[in-house]
Amino acid sequence: MPPTMRQALAEAAERVAPNMNAQNVSNTLNAFSKLEEAATEMPRSLRDALAEAAERVTPDMNAQSVGNTLNAYSKLATAVAEMPPTLRKVLVEAAEREGPCMLSLDFVGCTGSGS
C-alpha cells in the first residue's frame, strides 16, 4: 500500500474515531493490525483517538468485537505499550463479561450484556 494511501486512511480513521461504534472501532483496529506498514507507522494521534474510542465503546462490545479488538491490540506493539490503563481495565472487564460467548460457537443464549 502506498504511503500516501496509508496516511489518508489514518487521517480518515482519526477524524471519524470519536463517532465510531463498537464494531467500527474493532474493525478499524483489526484492519490496521493486518496492514504491516500501517501498523508500524500508525501515528500517535490515531493510536490515541482509537484508544479513546475503544474505551468509550467497549462496554457495548459483543463477544466478536471484544475478540477482534484484543487480537488487533496483540499485533500492535506500540499501541499496547501506550494503551491507557483505563482502556486495559475496560477490555479485561469486557473479556470477562463476554468470555462465555467467546468460547461458544453457538451464540444463542449468551448472557453477556454486549451480545
- Which residue ranges make up each domain of the chain? 3-103
Residues 14, 45: contact at Cβ < 8 Å? yes
pLDDT at 25: 94
Greater pLDDT, 64 or 115: 64
Nearest residue to 86 via CA among 110, 50, 56, 61: 56
Residue 98 cell numbers, joined: 463476554
Over residues 76-91, the pLDDT tens digits come to: 888 888 889 999 999 9
User: How many Cβ atoms sit within 10 Å of the Cβ of residue 111?
Assistant: 9
Question: pLDDT for 44-65, tens place per residue?
Answer: 899 999 999 999 999 999 988 9
Q: Region 6-29: what's the mean pLDDT?
A: 93
